[in-house]
Amino acid sequence: MSDKIKEVGVLESTFKRKILKNGLNLYVYSTPKFKTTTFCLFIHQDLARQTATKTALLPFVMKRGNKSFPTSRSLSLFLEDLYGTDMGGDILKRGETQILQFFMETINPKYTHGEDVLKIGLAAFKDMILNPLIEDEGFKIDYVKQEKDTLKRNIESLYNDKFNYVVERCFQEMCKDEAFSIYRYGNVKDLDVIDNKNLYLYYQYCLTHCPIDIFVLGDVNEDEIEQLTEEMFSFERKDNKRVETKFVSKIIQEPNYVEEKQNINQGKLAMGFRTNTRYSDDDYYALMVYNGILGGGTHSKLFQNVREKASLAYYAFSRLEKTKGLMLISSGIDFDDKDEALEIIKQQLEDIQVGKISDYEFDSTIKSLTNSFKEAADNPSMIISLYLDGIINGVQKSAEEIIGKLQKVTKDDVRNVAQKICLDTVFFLNKK
């Protein structure tokens, strides 16, 4: 093993890190647990208004074709012949970081009667990322035009998806002066100034300057994977820019109330909170339990008291945005029930603050969280996603370690972390 191999964090039995010659981070987890090998490449960029739409457009243009496979159909046929290999791209938002994600999952070579699926598949994966189809000193013009139209429809479709629209709008209002308010797919107005040339130049900048992580997970030989990846991804790079998300700690004296009116049949209520707890803080595990007790399932206070007992909500849940330190409560209610719903929801928050937590709520939450992380430990993409979150937030914990931390949380820990949570914004989508 190379001297440049470093154990990362506390995960000595999982991912091992190597810094490639051009500065890319390679994380390899060799395990016989899975019959497939999963590759993920992440390009990190600051979430910023001037680049968000271009960043969001890139993975969809890249998927359309490259020099080896100039059409989506030619690539699909190739992957189908390669034992049903799956390959694609997407855009992620983690706090105030926007991430281009490219992924490939292929069968382990030991099940292919000697065919070097790994090398063949990785070469195609590399082509999608490094060898795009070039036309007139930029990406293929038709592909850019078509994917701009698709991205425009995706952005506009959020308005019709009231469930997610309210969540997005609440975050936009509470973080209006912060980068987190930017939608992960950017905005329609910026599409007009994007063409095949400036998009290609921007992509070259990202490849050259943005931090890049490559993950490999499966029953692989670490030395062989390192050598193969070094060969495939040896493109020239320059100094990495620093990409990071800002954590905001706030004590809110007076929450912001925002109401919007549309032609809708059901009211949508969203409440945004500052948790004032970082993902890397010791009491983050207590915050996870807090969120589970509050609105993490059918056992939760929101479900039992707002939806079932009071019959005020069609749905009611809470969720955490761990990288940014936010929590959101969302509920679908009748228009006239807003004030009563708010009152009962606030009562649930107050109950946890004073330690009114039943054994059923507490034990069910620990069990639910434990099961979810056990499932994560059996899913390659979720293992990688969890580790990526750790890299972004500066702390690495395996699913098993997180389970161990959760099972040490007490009701007092939950009550203590509840004291730090502040209501920032209430957003209500009302009828016209």
pLDDT tens-digit readout, 366-412: 999 999 999 999 999 999 999 999 999 988 888 899 999 999 999 99
For β-strands 422-431 and 256-262, DSSP reports them as parallel
Q: What global pTM score does this model have?
A: 0.93
Question: How confident is the model over 61-86, as a mean pLDDT?
Answer: 95
Mean pLDDT score across all residues of the chain: 93
CATH code linked to domain 256-431: 3.30.830.10
Fold observed for domain 6-232: Cytochrome Bc1 Complex; Chain A, domain 1 (3.30.830)
Tell me the per-residue pLDDT of 183-219, one tens digit each, with 9 for 90 and over. 999 999 999 999 999 999 999 999 999 999 999 999 9
Residues of the chain with CATH 3.30.830.10: 6-232, 256-431
Per-residue pLDDT, 114: 67
